[in-house]
Amino acid sequence: MTALGFAWRSLVRQPARAALGVLGVAAVGALLLDMLMLSRGLIVSMQDLLDRGGWDVRVSAGDLPGSGLRVPHALETAEAISTLPSVQAVLVIRSASAQIDRASGLPLRTAFQGVATRSTDPEGARLRAPWTILRGRDADASDELVIDERIASEFMLEPGSTITLRASCVADLEALPATRLTVVGVAEFPFQTTNESTAGGTLDALKTACGGNVGHDADLILVRSKGDADGTAAAIRAQHPDVRAATNTEVVGRLQQTGFTYFRQISSVLTTVTVSFAVLLIAVLLTVSVNQRLGEVAALRALGFSRLRVVKDVLSESALIVGIGGLLSLPLGLLLAAGLDRILKGMPGIPVALHFFVFETGALAVHLALLVATAIIAALYPMRIVSTLPIAATLRDEVIG
């Protein structure tokens, strides 16, 4: 009988103890997996959001896109950037606050994004806005727009419908002109938060909605390089020292240094706590189990079982508890992560498409490595008990006891 087979029989012998160990490891393992998914989840998810649409360099007025500062003379700047040899396409994004009139009641406050593409490359000229069309098509003309699902469901709109929208490009307090626009598509806006609604169209459409009062600034300029994002960002910085140009990776790096650090720190602390808890749980169970059968172990040693063999038996028992519990922890951890993700995404200002918990093979590998380490570390003390067990004294004590 192999050490693993022997360990299995030892576990089955005391099903309640085995179940306790397995369930404990499953719960702790699920938390561990979640902490690992959380530690890099925001970073991976943010990188994914930024990479959507293939725009790999972001030009903004502040250190981070979305800081509120606007890029001055945005169209001229975009035009100049589009002439850089490493650039395939440039997209100017200008946001405005808007209201959509209801038949009765208060109008719905929404954001209206106007975009304009600049490219010297025919393929680049075809690139569209950073939103994803779910139904219908993208807006091309100055009297067209796309809307998000929230607006579509609230106003029961579908491609082909028309809406009356009042946009303000300069100040919230100005008198908003009413503009009738045709809905041509329903889209998903990647950075839209849970409580927001967004509409999008061309910069000309925004200009129309704002009564021509759009100014020359933009919130953000997105750039698609021909493959060298770092070189393109450097070229833009050289061409326009007054703006900040950063690759998506650099933007994520800056976010990592600021807000995302807390999640990593929390996850590191909780990972350490959960692993320690798992080690203690298994170590206690194994130690109790081994202490209950010292006589049997001593008898096996007397019968010729080597020290290595009895150590292997204990290690195998630990590996089985952690292995089975670890397997159970995977679906449990994924379910728990989905629930926690939903709760955390309910916080204000969090983009709907952003996830706190993201499954990665790297996280799974670390999870497995930590469980293996748990099995070994938890078994160290009980392994020491059986390896240093005085055979004769134990046999004597068992008879006296």
Partner 1 sequence: MSASNGLIVDAQQVSRVFSMPAGPVTAVRNVTLQIRGGDHVAVRGPSGCGKSTLLHMLGCVETQTSGTLFFDGQDVSRLSDSRRSLLRLRQIGFVFQRFFLLPMLTARENVELPMSEAGITKEARQQRVRELLEYVGLAARADHRPSQLSGGEMQRVAIARALANGPRLLLADEPTGELDEATGAQIAALLDRVNQTGTALVIVTHDLALADRAGRVLTMRDGRIASERTK
Instruction: Summarize as ranges the residues that interact with partner 1 (CB under 8 A).
Output: 1, 9-10, 12-13, 295-296, 298-309, 391-392, 395-396, 398-399
Q: In the complex with partner 1, which residue's Cβ is closer, 9 or 126?
A: 9
Q: In the complex with partner 1, which residue's Cβ is closer, 105 or 304?
A: 304
Query: CA-CA distance, 377 to 282, in Å (whole number)?
Result: 9
Q: In the complex with partner 1, which residue's Cβ is closer, 3 or 203?
A: 3
Residue type, 380: L
Query: CA-CA distance, 157 to 165, in Å (whole number)?
Result: 13
Tell the smallest beta-carbon distance from residue 386 to partner 1 (Å).
13
Query: CA-CA distance, 69 to 41, in Å (whole number)?
Result: 28
Q: In the complex with partner 1, which residue's Cβ is closer, 26 or 300?
A: 300
Neighbours of 288 (CB within 10 A): 12
Q: What is the dihedral of CA 86, 92, 93, 96, to 10 degrees?
A: 160
Q: In the complex with partner 1, which residue's Cβ is closer, 246 or 300?
A: 300
Query: CA-CA distance, 298 to 389, in Å (whole number)?
Result: 7
Q: At what angle do helices 294-302 and 260-292 cross, to 10 degrees?
A: 70
Tell the smallest beta-carbon distance from residue 295 to partner 1 (Å).
6
Q: In the complex with partner 1, which residue's Cβ is closer, 1 or 175?
A: 1
Tell the smallest beta-carbon distance from residue 291 to partner 1 (Å).
16
Tell the smallest beta-carbon distance from residue 271 to partner 1 (Å).
35
Q: In the complex with partner 1, which residue's Cβ is closer, 299 or 334?
A: 299
Tell the smallest beta-carbon distance from residue 6 to partner 1 (Å).
8
Q: What are the Cα distances from residue 255, in Å, to 60, 159, 247?
A: 15, 37, 12
Query: CA-CA distance, 48 to 354, in Å (whole number)?
Result: 9
Q: In the complex with partner 1, which residue's Cβ is closer, 312 or 355?
A: 312
Alpha helices in 83-136 (DSSP H): 122-125
How long a stretch of residues is the chain? 401
Is 28:195 a contact under the CB 8 Å cutoff?
no
Query: CA-CA distance, 247 to 228, in Å (whole number)?
Result: 10
Query: CA-CA distance, 13 to 390, in Å (whole number)?
Result: 25
Q: At what angle do helices 15-51 and 3-13 cross, to 10 degrees?
A: 110
Tokens of 395: 């046999």
Is 92:240 a contact under the CB 8 Å cutoff?
no
